[in-house]
């Protein structure tokens, strides 16, 4: 008798075990690498208006009245969690100054590399190339790229546009710690920015076979009063002919950068 009760209890436990499992159920319909990790290979792009302005914003005029409605910012919900960015007062003044000078001051106008996290929500696709070791992200905009080191974290030796990127897996989420940014890139076309003291923690979580949730925690005590987060969706470009095109924009920026140096 006791054995049968024990066996019954064991059987019930076995059937109910999946419900008792703590933590997230792994998504079953996402592509995976041979080692079971999510396969993030593919071309990705956001549909948000974050590249215009990562905060909530109505439509507003562009910096050049000559182009009329072309170059105006569409309305968009912010991607910042919890409302406005928590700037320090002096930094907020700098942001507003950036906005006023954005026609020439925006590093995007000068074809400088977009930095992190802006590169991930530019209005251009980017490609994730995931090997069984490191992960390469290649951006159509200005052929920027960055290597996510997946082994022992590398120290950032110098400040660069795209930073030093160290990645690890946390379940099905790719976590990337970014340091060594040079503080010259902006976060959007509205003048939001970080300094070279910024530490960014990105999280890439597949939520289906063609969607990535992208989150980034931004910490920079010299600019903000506390860390804050952004969150947006990345969509996979699944057209059969999807590919990165060439957008080498230096020639487009030449007049802006060097026009005053020409002889005539």
Partner 1 sequence: MRIRALVLTALCGSLIAAVGAQAHHAFSAEFDINRPVTLQGAITQMEWINPHAWLHIDVTEEDGTVASWAIELGPPNSLVRRGWSRNSVPVGIVVEVEGHQSIDGGRRANGGSVVLPDGTRLFTGGSSPDDNGDQ
**CA neighbor of 104 nearest in space, from 261, 255, 228:** 255
Q: How far is the CB of 81 from partner 1 (least distance, A)?
A: 31
Q: For residue 209, give the 3-state DSSP assignment.
A: coil
Smaller CB separation from partner 1, 45 or 160: 160
Q: How far is the CB of 172 from partner 1 (least distance, A)?
A: 21
Smaller CB separation from partner 1, 145 or 195: 145
Smaller CB separation from partner 1, 94 or 145: 145
State the Cα–Cα distance between residues 216 and 183, nearest whole angstrom: 17
Smaller CB separation from partner 1, 58 or 240: 240
DSSP state of 67: G
Name the site residues for partner 1 (rule: CB under 8 A): 41, 127, 129, 131, 136, 138, 143, 145, 157-160, 182, 243
**CA neighbor of 104 nearest in space, from 50, 64, 145, 158:** 64
Q: How far is the CB of 192 from partner 1 (least distance, A)?
A: 23
**Is 54 exposed, middle or buried, given 0-12, 13-18 or 19+ CB atoms closer than 10 A?**
buried
Provide the sign of the torsion angle of the four alpha carbons 115, 120, 122, 125, taken in this order.
Answer: positive
Q: How far is the CB of 130 from partner 1 (least distance, A)?
A: 9
């Amino acid at each position: 008798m006791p054995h049968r009760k024990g066996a019954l209890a064991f059987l019930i436990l076995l059937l109910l075990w999946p419900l008792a499992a703590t933590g997230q159920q792994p998504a079953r319909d996402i592509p995976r690498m041979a080692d079971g990790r999510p396969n993030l290979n593919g071309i990705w792009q956001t549909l948000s208006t974050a590249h215009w302005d990562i905060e909530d914003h109505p439509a507003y005029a562009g910096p050049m009245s000559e182009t009329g409605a072309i170059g105006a910012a569409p309305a968009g919900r912010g991607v910042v969690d919890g409302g406005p960015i928590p700037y320090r007062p002096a930094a907020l003044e700098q942001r507003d100054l950036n906005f006023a000078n954005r026609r020439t001051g925006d590093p995007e106008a000068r074809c400088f590399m977009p930095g992190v996290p802006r590169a991930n929500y530019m209005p251009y696709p980017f490609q994730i190339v995931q090997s069984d070791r490191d992960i390469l992200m290649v951006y159509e905009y200005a052929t920027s790229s960055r290597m996510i080191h997946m082994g022992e974290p590398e120290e950032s030796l110098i400040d660069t546009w795209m930073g030093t990127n160290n990645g690890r897996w946390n379940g099905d989420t790719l976590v990337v710690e970014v340091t060594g940014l040079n503080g010259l890139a902006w976060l959007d076309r509205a003048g939001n920015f970080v300094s070279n003291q910024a530490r960014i923690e990105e999280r890439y979580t597949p939520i289906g076979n063609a969607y990535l949730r992208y989150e980034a925690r931004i910490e920079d005590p010299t600019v903000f009063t506390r860390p804050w987060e952004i969150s947006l969706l990345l969509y996979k470009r699944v057209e059969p002919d999807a590919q990165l095109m060439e957008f080498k924009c230096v020639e487009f920026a030449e007049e802006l950068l060097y026009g005053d140096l020409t002889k005539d």
